[in-house]
Amino acid sequence: MNAYLDARSVLLITLDSCRYDTFAAAAAPRMKAIGPLYRALAPSHFTFGSHASMFVGFTPGVPDVAIPYVNPKFGRIFKVGAAGSVGPHPPFISLEGSDIIDGFRRKGLATIGSGAAGWFDPDTETGAVLSRSFDEFWYPGNTYSLDAQIDWIQGRLPNIDRAAFVFLNVGETHVPYFYKGAAWDPSYNPCMPFGSNNDATECRRRQTSCLEYVDRQLAEFLGLFAAGTVIICSDHGDCWGEDGVWEHGVSHPKVLEVPLLFRLGGV
């Protein structure tokens, strides 16, 4: 059996900067088929902080429900070592290591990742922090190369003979909200902190179109993990003028509000 069809395989997809309301309203049937959509709170308000948290087991969650995995304080999907409270419900996967990537590798899984946001650039010291635990990692150099990221990952999966932990950070939903072939000029960013030419309507239109493009691109890729665990979430959202705030990097409710969906293998 190919590794990516193994029931022990895990796929974690983060839709960079995607707002919850964008996801809820978008035509994204492939991603929405993974499981119920939850209006969750992200562990941080920017890419590095949120992924650093997720990589040690603190995925986005709904804090006021006693449901394991939906609320990581009640029961976590990933638990690394002794750090952090366990909660009333046991974790779905317990790991030992410096992060979940290291933990999966110690369990014998191949670890493959690709991140589109600049925080994942392995040639920078900060990017190396997020990418160094993977067996193989690729940074495409921009936020609009999802097709190439998927091709790169799929080109590696047939070469491994065991289960895999696969991570994919999607950049199309990040400002300036652009994908290959989009009918707008990415040099105009409608969501600039302290910008003078911002446009919330254009932000919503563009991010929704980007998300629907992402859903189409993921159709075959998601099917490769039909037997395993799939988690889809955002690392944070964006403000579109709420309380005078634009973009992310600030702990505003709209920045912390993110979509969360998952299907846990064997559960």
Contact 102, 55 (CB under 8 A): no
pLDDT level of residue 159 (50, 70, 90 thresholds): confident
Domains and CATH numbers, the chain: 3-34+97-263 (3.40.720.10)
pLDDT level of residue 4 (50, 70, 90 thresholds): low
Q: What is the pLDDT of residue 239?
A: 98
State pLDDT tens for residues 197-245. 999 999 999 999 999 999 999 999 999 999 999 999 999 999 999 999 9
- Starting from the edge strand earliest in sequence, which strands make up the sheet with 38-41, in order? 38-41, 257-263, 229-233, 10-15, 164-170, 110-115, 136-138
Look at 51-55, 87-91, 134-138, 218-222 and tell me which has the smallest mean pLDDT: 87-91
State pLDDT tens for residues 72-85. 999 999 999 876 77
Q: What is the pLDDT of residue 1?
A: 37
State pLDDT tens for residues 103-121. 999 999 999 999 999 999 9
Q: What is the pLDDT of residue 158?
A: 87
Tell me the average pLDDT of the chain.
95
At residue 241, φ and ψ (nearest 5 deg) are: 95, -5
d(CA 195, CA 57): 35
pTM, two decimal places: 0.96
